Structure 1
Amino acid sequence: MAQSPGMFSQHPRGLFICFATEVWERFSYYGMRALLIFYLMQHFGFSEADSFLIYGTYTAMVYVTSILGGLIADRYLGARKAVTLGAVLLVIGHFGISFEASVQIFYLSLALIIVGVGLLKPNASTLVGAMYAPDDSRRDAGRILGSL
């Protein structure tokens, strides 16, 4: 019985890596959004108002740093280095949060996560687009797969 080609077999090999990186970035970002207020209130004893203020600042800064991350990649690093650096900063930030340390280490770790997402988020789709020729009919499907 012949196997039908898989979803990724019709696309460049690097698409799967970009797809997996995007999945973990989104898991990181949305997972953090889901748990941040509870973590701040239960672990550090922040008030509800302060927790929501930090949550709102975190969410806003991710989007602001995404603009800066795109500019940094365009002018200095390139998309590949920006995505790699962003992924490394994300891992270090989540590693730092996993320790029950001081609130200063928590803020530093949160800042690393923000900068990591800011570098990774806008540049991952640029990498996917660069895998295809401009007139390749698979290009739009690759971008959809790469940004799921």
Structure 2
Amino acid sequence: MTRTRGRWELESPEMVLHAIDDLCQFVAGRVVVASLTLDTQEVVAAAVVPEPAEPQACWDPHEASMRLHDVAIELVPQRTATRRGWAPMTHLLVMVVCREGRVIDTMTEHRWFRAWRYSNHLTRAIDGDIYVVTPHGWTGVMDRRAGHEPRLRPHLALAPGS
């Protein structure tokens, strides 16, 4: 039996992640939000979520939501009203959390998930999955699919005195 995918689910997460990586290189510590057309799932834009303006002693979900909100409204048209109600959704937003470690979802992604759901971006996009990309591969937090590529590139540094 074939399960019908929801509108928020990607047909090919691996292909989408490669396209996002082409726009915003996956680097450990970086969080990326990408905009896809809802009907074709073509990646049309991606942006790195900026770091907090001030150093934080602990995770602030409200502050993270505001940063996500600001990125979302840069990537997707605002939602507008028509005579019959709201204009239809045209885009899908996905988030990619790039970090060291195993290819499993952790508290890090679940914190971003909460911030994402409450970002109230009011755009013409529906929220998609959050993907984790590590040096060992990727996985989706909600859909649980995973793969070896793309992955974070190894960080290479010159040895002292080279």
Fold similarity call, TM over 0.5 = no
Judging by fraction of residues, say which structure has more helix.
Answer: 1
- 1 or 2, which has the higher strand percentage? 2
Q: For the superposition of Structure 1 and Structure 2, which TM-score range results when normalised by the shorter chain?
A: under 0.3
The structure with the largest alpha-carbon Rg is 1
With the length of structure 2 as denominator, give the TM-score of the two structures.
0.23
Higher relative contact order structure (alpha carbons within 8 Å, sequence separation ≥ 6): 1
TM-score, structure 1 as length reference: 0.25
